[in-house]
Amino acid sequence: MTRPIEEDIVAYIDGELAEAERAAFEARVAKEPALADEVRRQRDLVERLRSAYPDGEDKAFDAQALAALGLGDTTVVELSAARTQRRGRVMPRPWWAGAIAASLVCGILIGRAIPGGPAGQDIVVDRQGQLVAAASLDRALTSQDDGGAGAIKVGMTFRTANRYCRTFRLADGNAGMGCRSADRWSILALVKGGPEEPRSADFRLAGDEFPPSLMSEVDARIVGSPLPPSDVEKARRARWR
């Protein structure tokens, strides 16, 4: 390697040296105090830069935002339309047919009720205008581990600024995200999924089986990384508070 040492220093700090190069570089740092000083200075610079440019919250792209960008989706419907359908009147109204319900702003909804529970039980119900998990979905989100099999699969658990959220996938391929508020799981996003949903090459957060549109909802809310199993266990014992 004849490239300047400065390039080795930054590539080392950025984790971009191959294993052998890294070992050789570390051996050199151990022997050369001046080089060690330079590495320290550069590490310090990276820290200072990151704190000088704090990360803001990621922007969430709801149906309205997507429509404004020319990326509207015919499979997304208004929440009120979803409710109408649940009452048995089939009114597949595309979202652009009317004003978008304020309640949709928090997520993406598919245009039908989610039975999915045993004996045709609804597993997402409307409680005072808020969609919450019921029956087997509530139990799954409250007690299941991430991953695992079963009719309802919990994908991953993460923290937002103020609460816990978990993604889930139903047997029919539909997927969603529930966030804990007090004693219930509010369903902030429900998307029509299916086995054909490809994995986004861009998203590495245990999202392989989840629709990209759901993962971008997660991406917009997550603070830090998805929780490891030990933290999920801790959160469960603390009743998700």
Partner 1 sequence: MSDFRRQLIAALPRLHRLARTIVRNGQDSDDLFQRTIERILERRAGWQPGSRLDLWAARIMKNIWLDELRMRGRWSRLVEPMPEDGVISDLGSGADAVERQAESRRLRALTESLPEEQRLAIKLVLLNELSYAEAAEILEIPEGTLTSRLARGRVALARMIMEGAA
Residues that bind partner 1 (CB under 8 A): 3-4, 6-7, 9-11, 14, 16, 41-42, 45-46, 48-56, 58-61, 66, 69-71, 73, 75, 197-198, 200-203, 211-213, 215-216, 219-220
Q: CA 173 to CA 165: how far, in whole Å?
A: 19
Measured from the CB atom, the residue of 164 and 210 that comes closer to partner 1 is: 210
- CA atoms in the 13 A half-sphere facing the CB of 166: 31
Residue 165: CB minimum distance to partner 1, A: 16
Shortest distance in whole angstroms from residue 202 CB to partner 1 = 4
Residue 35: CB minimum distance to partner 1, A: 13
Closest to partner 1 by CB, 65 vs 91, is 65
Q: Which is nearer to partner 1, 123 or 191 (CB)?
A: 191
Helical residues (DSSP H) of 74-152, grouped into ranges: 79-86, 135-143
Largest Cα–Cα separation, the chain? 77
What letter would DSSP give residue 178? E
The dihedral over CA atoms of 170, 230, 215, 144, expressed in degrees to the nearest 10, equals 10
Q: Is the CB of 51 or the CB of 128 nearer to partner 1?
A: 51
User: What is the nearest approach in angstroms of partner 1 to the Cβ of residue 55?
Assistant: 8
d(CA 196, CA 172): 12
Least spacing, CB of residue 133 vs partner 1, in Å: 24
6 CB-near residues (< 8 Å, 6+ apart): none
Residues 180, 178: Cα–Cα separation, whole Å? 7
Could you tell me if 24 and 185 are in contact, meaning their C-beta atoms sit under 8 angstroms apart?
Answer: no
- The residue among 73 and 122 lying less far from partner 1, judged by its C-beta, is 73
